[in-house]
Amino acid sequence: MKEINLFALALQNLRRKPYRTIVIGLCVAVATGSLFAATIVLRGVQHSLTVGRARLGADLVIVPDGYETLAQEAFITGQPSTFYMSDVAEKKISTLSGVNQTSPQVFVETLSNASCCIGEFFLVGFDPETDFTISPWLTTHLDGKALGPFDIIVGDRILLREGETVIFYGTEFSVVGVLEKTGMGIDRTIYVPMEGLRSMIANSETLAEQTLEISPKDLSSIMVSVKPDAEILDVAELIEANLDGVNVFTATQLNQAVGNQLQGVLGITFGVTASLWLMSLFTIGLVFSLIVNERQRELGILRAMGARRKVIFQLVMGEAGLLTGLGGLGGLVAAGVLLTGFSRLIQLRLRIPYLLPNVFEIMGISLLLLLLALFTGALASLHPALSSSKMEPYAAIRKGE
């Protein structure tokens, strides 16, 4: 005769009521899945900000007054933004105490994509002589080769690849490198040496469909690195006090800007998820109390046949554990598939930087959430399991009739 173990018995009981099993399983799946998705998005944003800030390299970014939000958006999402200020500002800033290094950047928006479909590109002109944001990357990736004026470096999300050429405003550029993925605006940015960019601007009158009205003395932003012994915020205040018409923001403020964008959405998601957990906890508790009541006769017979109290307790707990475990696993798989498929949509709609955390972190989060799902099942079914295990066999059989 085939031996029936506890697991097989629990599985059989769950299969006996498929509708109830599916509904409770779905409750747990939705709660686990939404918590998993919210946690991964949050960790993805933090990961992206860490990588992006390291790539940005600057302690302070100076932009014309009134354009700080647009500039922050350009750094976070790569949304092309153009604004200009005089290069006098850079000369003044470099003389201030606490300032270690300054490097100018000029922003240009392209008219159309040259190699495919449609879309506007964000061109950032940088000075290879003073730059400390892209240049460290160049030394490790270009084997010390000098960057020509028409050599460009592109972000990971730009379709161009090394060795390809592209024409912007009538000027041809060659792609010499592709930056690593950061999940931030850098991925959708094209870095052009200042000499090449100025030449492109000057030639746009004769070569391009539209003339670029940017003066050779115009700058869009100034990247500032602060001396190691100076306070970043003190230097920022000093710059704002000494220069009119500029706005200074720190790398930390970029994080705050992202935090503000995320606050609402993640707040709602975590709120809904917490409610779902509570709802699942009460539902499982209630359903298992009903199950135990409904199956008093069956449990009483099991006891009369020699099953110990511990076996009855384990059976009820096992059923709850199996149900919440399978529901949790289903939720994790579904959330993982949806998150992988729609990560770009989430990133674009929420306007947030996002870079998938590493595999071990994802596995750790999944394991923790699975344990949480199992714990919920155990907690909710604890009382019904205890009360059912305490039932006297004769009384249970009589009450269940």
Partner 1 sequence: MKRLSTSGIVVAVLGLLIVITPIVLPVCESLLELANGKQVPMSCHWTARAEMIFGALIVVVGLMIAFLKKPGERQRLYHQVAFLGLVTILTPLFIIPTCMHPDMACNVATKPALIILGGIVLLVGLAGSRTPTEPSSEATA
Q: Please return the burial class of 108, using the count of CB atoms within 10 Å of its CB with bins 0-12, 13-18 and 19+.
A: buried
Chain center to CA of 76 = 12
Q: How far is the CB of 378 from partner 1 (least distance, A)?
A: 30
Q: How far is the CB of 397 from partner 1 (least distance, A)?
A: 30
Among candidates 13, 26, 7, which has minimal Cα distance to 326?
26
**What angle (nearest 5°) sits at the alpha carbon of residue 162, between those of residues 161 and 167?**
70
Chain center to CA of 66 = 28
Q: How far is the CB of 116 from partner 1 (least distance, A)?
A: 4
Q: Which is nearer to partner 1, 275 or 340 (CB)?
A: 340
Q: Which is nearer to partner 1, 140 or 210 (CB)?
A: 210
The whole-angstrom separation of Cα 110 and Cα 184 is 19
Q: Which is nearer to partner 1, 117 or 305 (CB)?
A: 117
Among candidates 304, 321, 305, which has minimal Cα distance to 385?
321
Q: Which is nearer to partner 1, 92 or 157 (CB)?
A: 157
Long-range contacts at 16-22 (CB < 8 A, ≥ 24 apart):
20/287, 21/323
The whole-angstrom separation of Cα 180 and Cα 173 is 20
Q: How far is the CB of 56 from partner 1 (least distance, A)?
A: 21
The whole-angstrom separation of Cα 219 and Cα 103 is 10
Q: How far is the CB of 317 from partner 1 (least distance, A)?
A: 28
The answer for residues whose C-beta is within 8 angstroms of residue 4's C-beta and 6 or more apart is: none
The whole-angstrom separation of Cα 71 and Cα 105 is 12
Q: Which is nearer to partner 1, 121 or 288 (CB)?
A: 121
As given in the structure block, the two tokens for residue 135 are: 């240049």
Binding region for partner 1 (CB under 8 A): 113, 116-119, 157, 159, 188, 337-338, 341-342, 344-345, 348
Q: Which is nearer to partner 1, 202 or 334 (CB)?
A: 334
The whole-angstrom separation of Cα 364 and Cα 40 is 11
Q: Which is nearer to partner 1, 110 or 113 (CB)?
A: 113
Task: Answer left, alpha or beta for residue 290, where phi above 0 means left and psi between -120 and 50 means alpha.
Answer: alpha
Q: Which is nearer to partner 1, 74 or 214 (CB)?
A: 74
Lookup result for tokens 């602060």: 226
Q: Which is nearer to partner 1, 144 or 341 (CB)?
A: 341
Q: How far is the CB of 345 from partner 1 (least distance, A)?
A: 4
Residues, the chain: 401
Q: How far is the CB of 79 from partner 1 (least distance, A)?
A: 11
Q: How far is the CB of 130 from partner 1 (least distance, A)?
A: 31
Q: How far is the CB of 22 from partner 1 (least distance, A)?
A: 11
